[in-house]
């Protein structure tokens, strides 16, 4: 076992805006550092903070961006392509809704939109390489999600075909990331075809175990599905290369449960909360990650139905810092041990 979880870091997507200090990369980095953060995760679709096309073409630009972060004592943890990754695979039922994630010139043109999305994700891989990063975070997109609850009965072969197609679309992208030395850490999330461990295994099998297909671990989505998020780490720790620290709570009633009755976020049985306000056992999570030698970043993703984001960000830095574990290089009972004595061992075992 080696390595310590790094942090605290913060995903900038939910904070970027048109008002200072959230409207430029320099200003938002200064703000994040003032709260005690040590790293920032960048949403590549937000031109107020980052020029993705320029970053893919220019190592000099990437050095400038990294330099801005470093001037505030920050590292860049990962680049995010969540919105673009979503558009790599879209069921036609969601075409109109997801057009909002793409530029106007490809609205109503699913094939052109998909090509745009693939190009975006590929640029993020090159930009990650220029920045010296080893992982990027994204979504898989979804073809089969409308059929998640099998009524009426799903057509035989529908799910298998969906995952074969999902893998066909992602494999060339993963190959390009492999050439760049970068993992794609997929956030396992309802609304994606890969939303739990079983679906991740389907995806990985369709990809023939591609080594760059990894996981952005976010326990909030697992708690809302009532999945054992600690056992998930035991099973998939070798594939976890990124970590979103996000809290949630699940309070079922006689009226609603996991599906939450189309209620608004504030009225749902399952809701996202600021760190420490929900039910996720982060002590257990950080212990598991330390146990398995996870040595990348712990990144706050703030989403809360109640608390103001700036309060959540301020409290989140200290919350993560409190949970970081400096991994020991000693056993607690080393003081009682001694050197190897083969004769003693044989006597203890009754051997000659």
CATH at 188: 3.20.20.150
Residue 88 counted as domain residue: yes
pLDDT level of residue 352 (50, 70, 90 thresholds): confident
Q: Quote the longest CA-to-CA distance of the chain.
A: 83
pLDDT at 129: 98
**Tens of pLDDT, residues 67-92:** 999 999 999 999 999 999 999 999 99
Q: Which domain holds residue 107?
A: 6-348
pLDDT level of residue 104 (50, 70, 90 thresholds): very high
The structure tokens listed for 345 are: 């061992």
Residue 336 counted as domain residue: yes
Distance CA 84, CA 82 (A): 6
Distance CA 107, CA 20 (A): 31
Residue 263 counted as domain residue: yes
Could you give the percent of the chain with pLDDT greater than 90? Answer: 93
SS3 250: strand
Q: Is the pLDDT of residue 337 over 80?
A: no
DSSP 262: G
Averaged pLDDT score across all residues of the chain: 96
Residue 218 counted as domain residue: yes
Q: Is the pLDDT of residue 335 over 70?
A: no
234 within 8 A of 288, measured Cβ to Cβ: yes
Residue 298 counted as domain residue: yes
Q: What is the pTM of this model?
A: 0.94
Q: Is the pLDDT of residue 111 over 70?
A: yes
**Tens of pLDDT, residues 309-330:** 999 999 999 999 999 999 877 7
Taking CA atoms, 160 is separated from 193, 199, 349, in Å, by: 11, 11, 55
Residue 158 counted as domain residue: yes
pLDDT at 1: 45
Token pair 């389907």 is found at 202
Residue 61 counted as domain residue: yes
Mean pLDDT in residue range 291-320: 97
The structure tokens listed for 173 are: 């992208």
327 CB-near residues (< 8 Å, 6+ apart): 1, 2, 3, 4, 290, 293
Residue 1 counted as domain residue: no
**Tens of pLDDT, residues 113-133:** 999 999 999 999 999 999 999
Distance CA 269, CA 263 (A): 9
pLDDT at 334: 59
Domains in the chain, number: 1
Enumerate the β-bridge partners of residue 267. none
pLDDT at 2: 56
Mean pLDDT in residue range 206-210: 98
Which region among 165-169, 242-246, 252-256, 328-332 has the lowest average model confidence (pLDDT)?
Answer: 328-332
Distance CA 280, CA 275 (A): 9
DSSP 153: P
Mean pLDDT in residue range 239-250: 98
């Amino acid at each position: 076992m080696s390595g310590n979880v790094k942090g605290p870091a913060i995903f900038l997507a939910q904070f970027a805006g048109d008002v200072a200090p959230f409207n430029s990369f320099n200003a938002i980095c200064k703000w994040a550092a003032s709260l005690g953060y040590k790293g920032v995760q960048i949403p590549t679709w937000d031109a107020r903070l980052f020029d993705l096309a320029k970053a893919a073409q220019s190592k000099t630009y990437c050095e400038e961006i990294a330099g801005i972060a470093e001037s505030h004592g920050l590292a860049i943890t990962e680049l995010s392509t969540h919105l673009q990754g979503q558009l790599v695979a879209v069921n036609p039922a969601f075409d109109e809704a997801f057009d909002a994630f793409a530029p106007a010139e490809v609205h109503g043109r699913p094939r052109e939109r998909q090509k745009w999305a693939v190009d975006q994700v590929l640029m993020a891989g090159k930009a990650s390489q220029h920045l010296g990063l080893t992982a990027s975070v994204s979504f898989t997109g979804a073809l089969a999600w409308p059929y998640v609850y099998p009524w009426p009965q799903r057509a035989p072969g529908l799910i298998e075909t969906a995952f074969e197609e999902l893998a066909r679309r992602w494999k060339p992208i993963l190959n390009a990331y492999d050439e760049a030395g970068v993992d794609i850490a997929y956030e396992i999330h309802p609304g994606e075809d890969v939303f739990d461990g079983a679906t991740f295994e389907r995806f990985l099998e369709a990809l023939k175990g591609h080594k760059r297909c990894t996981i952005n671990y976010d326990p909030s989505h697992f708690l809302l599905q009532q999945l054992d998020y600690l056992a998930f780490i035991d099973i998939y720790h070798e594939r976890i290369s990124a970590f979103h620290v996000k809290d949630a709570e699940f309070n079922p009633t006689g009226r609603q449960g996991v599906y939450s009755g189309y209620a608004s976020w504030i009225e749902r049985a399952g809701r996202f909360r600021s760190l420490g306000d929900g039910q996720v056992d982060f002590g257990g999570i950080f212990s598991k990650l330390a146990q398995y030698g996870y040595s990348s970043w712990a990144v706050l993703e703030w989403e809360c139905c109640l608390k103001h984001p700036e309060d959540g960000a301020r409290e989140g830095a200290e919350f993560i810092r409190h949970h970081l574990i400096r991994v020991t290089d000693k056993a607690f009972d080393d003081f009682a041990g001694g050197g190897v004595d083969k004769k003693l061992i044989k006597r203890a075992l009754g051997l000659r």
